[in-house]
Structure 1
Amino acid sequence: MSRVFSEKISTRVTHRPELERAVTLPRDARRRHIRDHTLEGHESVRSRGKATGGAAVTDDAMLPMALHLREQNLSLREQNLSLREIAARLVIIKGKKKGQHPSPATALRMLREHDEADSTVPAATATATATATATAS
């Protein structure tokens, strides 16, 4: 009978790197396999002209309301609205989920995308102004 591992098995050893590698290798291979098949499925659905993902729940009116609630939260410290409470006050007004509330993750994503768009616009404007000034000189 041959040994699979070169180290001797001891109950005192708390860290066995070879054993850990041997255990994680099949787990990682399975994850990669599932991920590859999922991506292939998404690609085949897209090639047939179908859309993946859930129903769109955000609209043009929801962002200003979420921004208003966040600003209200910042100005009135005693209210201290969480993302869950902001999402609970928002209502989806069209589509399959009409009348329901968006998830807190959707509210967070919507506010984050707005903040990122706001932070990139002034930087792009400043870069364009600096470039125009430098070329004019």
Structure 2
Amino acid sequence: MSKLFVLGAAAVFFVYGLLFYVIPLEAFEFVVDGSVTSSSGVTDMRATYGGMSVGIGIILFMLGRNPQTVQLGLVSVFVVMLGMAFGRSVGMTFDGNANHYMYLYLALELAVSFIALFLIKAGKGQ
């Protein structure tokens, strides 16, 4: 179960990153219901949303496919998702006007964090 969870998270990050490599403007519009108006902004989206997400996906894939590193993969998913949830919460608190996607993403980030934590604790007893 833990292996599939880490590999599933790897796939989500990888595909998400690929979308921002290939169609950054469309992906950004879908994700945040907004637009970017400069070429430097688009380049940064490709690098940050695209490159970092693909990188995280590859790291999680490598951790998830090796039985000796699955626990580290779970910890990685937990830390990344909780970090995203914290950053999103700070933004929603101080920046205001969050659209419904932000609440959905926050709920998903928290849910994935808690599932990862549950699997981490379950794996410690093995």
TM range (shorter): under 0.3
Whose helix fraction is larger, Structure 1's or Structure 2's? 2
Return the TM-score normalized by structure 1.
0.22
Structure showing greater relative contact order (alpha-carbon pairs closer than 8 Å, 6 or more residues apart): 2
Return the TM-score normalized by structure 2.
0.24
| Higher Cα radius of gyration | 1
